Amino acid sequence: MAHNMARSSLSLAIAAAMTLSSAMLLVASPAPAALAVGKKAPDFTIQASLAGQPFTFHLADALKKGPVVLYFFPAAATSGCTVEAHDFADATDSFKALGATVIGISADSIERLNRFSVEECREKFAVASAPISLISAYDVKLPVLSRSNRTSFVIAPDGTIVFAYSDLDHREHAERTLSAVKAWVAKH
Protein backbone atom coordinates (compact mmCIF):
# COMPACT_ATOMS: atom_id res chain seq x y z
CA MET A 1 0.00 0.00 0.00
CA ALA A 2 2.80 2.43 0.89
CA HIS A 3 4.47 1.52 -2.42
CA ASN A 4 1.26 2.37 -4.34
CA MET A 5 0.93 5.69 -2.48
CA ALA A 6 4.56 6.57 -3.26
CA ARG A 7 4.05 5.65 -6.92
CA SER A 8 0.83 7.69 -6.99
CA SER A 9 2.64 10.69 -5.48
CA LEU A 10 5.43 10.31 -8.01
CA SER A 11 2.88 10.13 -10.85
CA LEU A 12 1.23 13.33 -9.59
CA ALA A 13 4.59 15.06 -9.34
CA ILE A 14 5.52 14.01 -12.89
CA ALA A 15 2.14 15.17 -14.23
CA ALA A 16 2.51 18.52 -12.46
CA ALA A 17 6.03 18.94 -13.84
CA MET A 18 4.84 18.11 -17.35
CA THR A 19 1.97 20.61 -17.05
CA LEU A 20 4.35 23.29 -15.78
CA SER A 21 6.83 22.43 -18.54
CA SER A 22 4.09 22.73 -21.18
CA ALA A 23 2.99 26.07 -19.75
CA MET A 24 6.59 27.33 -19.75
CA LEU A 25 6.97 26.36 -23.41
CA LEU A 26 3.83 28.30 -24.28
CA VAL A 27 5.09 31.33 -22.39
CA ALA A 28 8.61 31.10 -23.84
CA SER A 29 7.48 30.72 -27.46
CA PRO A 30 7.48 33.94 -29.44
CA ALA A 31 3.97 34.79 -30.58
CA PRO A 32 3.41 36.70 -33.78
CA ALA A 33 1.75 40.09 -33.45
CA ALA A 34 -1.80 39.55 -34.65
CA LEU A 35 -2.25 43.21 -35.48
CA ALA A 36 -0.40 43.24 -38.76
CA VAL A 37 1.14 46.11 -40.64
CA GLY A 38 -1.61 48.07 -42.36
CA LYS A 39 -4.23 47.48 -39.65
CA LYS A 40 -5.69 50.29 -37.55
CA ALA A 41 -4.37 50.37 -33.99
CA PRO A 42 -7.13 50.27 -31.37
CA ASP A 43 -7.38 53.64 -29.61
CA PHE A 44 -7.19 53.67 -25.82
CA THR A 45 -6.86 55.84 -22.73
CA ILE A 46 -4.96 54.38 -19.76
CA GLN A 47 -3.01 55.33 -16.65
CA ALA A 48 0.68 55.90 -17.33
CA SER A 49 3.73 57.11 -15.47
CA LEU A 50 6.64 59.31 -16.54
CA ALA A 51 9.44 59.98 -14.08
CA GLY A 52 7.28 58.51 -11.31
CA GLN A 53 4.39 60.89 -12.00
CA PRO A 54 1.09 59.29 -12.98
CA PHE A 55 -0.90 60.79 -15.87
CA THR A 56 -3.53 59.74 -18.37
CA PHE A 57 -2.22 58.60 -21.77
CA HIS A 58 -4.53 58.74 -24.79
CA LEU A 59 -3.17 57.18 -27.98
CA ALA A 60 -5.12 59.51 -30.30
CA ASP A 61 -3.64 62.57 -28.55
CA ALA A 62 -0.09 61.20 -28.83
CA LEU A 63 -0.58 60.44 -32.53
CA LYS A 64 -1.38 64.13 -33.16
CA LYS A 65 2.29 64.84 -32.36
CA GLY A 66 3.78 62.14 -34.61
CA PRO A 67 4.34 58.38 -34.73
CA VAL A 68 4.01 56.34 -31.56
CA VAL A 69 6.26 53.45 -30.56
CA LEU A 70 4.05 51.22 -28.48
CA TYR A 71 5.92 48.38 -26.88
CA PHE A 72 4.28 45.71 -24.76
CA PHE A 73 6.41 43.94 -22.16
CA PRO A 74 5.57 41.08 -19.76
CA ALA A 75 6.54 42.49 -16.33
CA ALA A 76 8.37 45.45 -14.86
CA ALA A 77 11.52 44.83 -12.83
CA THR A 78 12.29 41.47 -14.45
CA SER A 79 15.66 40.93 -16.11
CA GLY A 80 14.67 41.11 -19.79
CA CYS A 81 12.15 43.92 -19.29
CA THR A 82 14.69 45.96 -17.33
CA VAL A 83 17.33 45.69 -20.07
CA GLU A 84 14.68 46.48 -22.70
CA ALA A 85 13.67 49.61 -20.73
CA HIS A 86 17.34 50.66 -20.64
CA ASP A 87 17.56 50.16 -24.43
CA PHE A 88 14.49 52.33 -25.03
CA ALA A 89 15.77 54.94 -22.55
CA ASP A 90 19.10 55.08 -24.40
CA ALA A 91 17.26 55.55 -27.71
CA THR A 92 14.65 58.06 -26.48
CA ASP A 93 16.52 61.13 -27.72
CA SER A 94 16.77 59.57 -31.19
CA PHE A 95 13.03 58.80 -31.17
CA LYS A 96 12.23 62.36 -30.05
CA ALA A 97 14.44 63.82 -32.79
CA LEU A 98 12.24 61.92 -35.27
CA GLY A 99 9.06 63.24 -33.64
CA ALA A 100 8.11 59.87 -32.15
CA THR A 101 6.63 59.15 -28.73
CA VAL A 102 7.68 55.97 -26.90
CA ILE A 103 5.43 54.25 -24.39
CA GLY A 104 5.89 50.87 -22.76
CA ILE A 105 2.81 48.92 -21.70
CA SER A 106 2.35 46.02 -19.29
CA ALA A 107 -0.30 44.57 -16.99
CA ASP A 108 1.62 45.82 -13.94
CA SER A 109 -0.01 48.18 -11.46
CA ILE A 110 0.58 51.90 -11.86
CA GLU A 111 2.34 51.91 -8.47
CA ARG A 112 4.90 49.39 -9.72
CA LEU A 113 5.29 51.31 -12.98
CA ASN A 114 5.86 54.60 -11.10
CA ARG A 115 9.04 53.08 -9.65
CA PHE A 116 9.99 51.37 -12.92
CA SER A 117 9.65 54.65 -14.84
CA VAL A 118 12.20 56.29 -12.56
CA GLU A 119 14.63 53.44 -11.96
CA GLU A 120 14.69 51.55 -15.25
CA CYS A 121 13.14 53.90 -17.83
CA ARG A 122 15.48 56.54 -16.41
CA GLU A 123 12.70 59.15 -16.50
CA LYS A 124 13.04 59.23 -20.32
CA PHE A 125 9.74 57.74 -21.51
CA ALA A 126 6.36 56.73 -20.13
CA VAL A 127 5.13 53.29 -19.15
CA ALA A 128 1.46 52.44 -18.76
CA SER A 129 -0.72 49.96 -16.92
CA ALA A 130 -2.96 48.09 -19.34
CA PRO A 131 -6.05 46.06 -18.57
CA ILE A 132 -6.18 42.61 -20.12
CA SER A 133 -8.85 43.91 -22.51
CA LEU A 134 -6.30 46.27 -24.10
CA ILE A 135 -3.62 43.58 -24.21
CA SER A 136 -6.17 41.31 -25.90
CA ALA A 137 -7.26 44.06 -28.32
CA TYR A 138 -3.68 44.22 -29.61
CA ASP A 139 -3.61 40.39 -29.51
CA VAL A 140 -0.41 40.24 -27.49
CA LYS A 141 -1.68 38.26 -24.48
CA LEU A 142 0.53 35.43 -23.35
CA PRO A 143 -1.19 32.06 -23.29
CA VAL A 144 -1.90 30.89 -19.74
CA LEU A 145 -0.85 34.16 -18.04
CA SER A 146 -2.71 37.45 -17.74
CA ARG A 147 0.25 39.35 -19.15
CA SER A 148 1.39 40.56 -22.53
CA ASN A 149 4.09 39.00 -24.62
CA ARG A 150 6.92 41.21 -25.87
CA THR A 151 5.67 42.99 -28.98
CA SER A 152 6.67 46.36 -30.39
CA PHE A 153 4.54 48.42 -32.75
CA VAL A 154 5.17 51.63 -34.64
CA ILE A 155 1.92 53.46 -35.27
CA ALA A 156 1.70 56.25 -37.86
CA PRO A 157 -0.15 59.47 -36.98
CA ASP A 158 -3.21 58.26 -38.93
CA GLY A 159 -3.46 55.27 -36.54
CA THR A 160 -2.12 52.70 -39.00
CA ILE A 161 0.37 50.11 -37.77
CA VAL A 162 3.50 50.50 -39.90
CA PHE A 163 5.71 48.06 -38.00
CA ALA A 164 5.10 45.07 -35.70
CA TYR A 165 7.71 42.84 -34.10
CA SER A 166 7.10 40.04 -31.58
CA ASP A 167 9.88 38.18 -29.83
CA LEU A 168 10.25 37.42 -26.13
CA ASP A 169 13.97 38.15 -26.53
CA HIS A 170 14.30 41.83 -25.59
CA ARG A 171 17.52 42.56 -27.46
CA GLU A 172 16.28 43.92 -30.80
CA HIS A 173 13.05 45.74 -29.96
CA ALA A 174 14.45 49.26 -29.47
CA GLU A 175 16.80 48.98 -32.45
CA ARG A 176 14.13 47.58 -34.80
CA THR A 177 11.50 50.14 -33.82
CA LEU A 178 13.99 53.00 -34.22
CA SER A 179 14.84 51.72 -37.72
CA ALA A 180 11.13 51.50 -38.54
CA VAL A 181 10.51 55.06 -37.36
CA LYS A 182 13.49 56.30 -39.41
CA ALA A 183 12.12 54.51 -42.50
CA TRP A 184 8.63 55.95 -41.95
CA VAL A 185 9.99 59.49 -41.47
CA ALA A 186 12.13 59.16 -44.63
CA LYS A 187 8.98 58.34 -46.64
CA HIS A 188 6.90 61.14 -45.12
> What is the per-residue pLDDT across 137-155, written as a single tens digit (0 to 9) for each?
999 988 888 888 889 999 9
Reported as a single tens digit per residue, the pLDDT across 64-106 is 999 999 999 988 888 778 788 889 999 999 999 999 999 999 9
Query: Mean pLDDT for the chain?
Result: 83
Reported as a single tens digit per residue, the pLDDT across 15-41 is 333 333 333 333 344 445 468 899 999
What's the pTM?
Answer: 0.80
Report pLDDT for 164: 95
Among residues 164, 163, 133, 160, the alpha carbon closest in space to that of 148 is found at 133
Report pLDDT for 71: 93
Q: How many CB atoms lie within 10 A of CB 166?
A: 18
Report pLDDT for 34: 67
* For the chain, domain boundaries: 1-30, 32-187
**Range 32-187: architecture per CATH:** 3-Layer(aba) Sandwich (3.40)
- What is the mean predicted confidence (pLDDT) over 181-188? 95
Dihedral of CA 183/83/57/150: which sign? positive
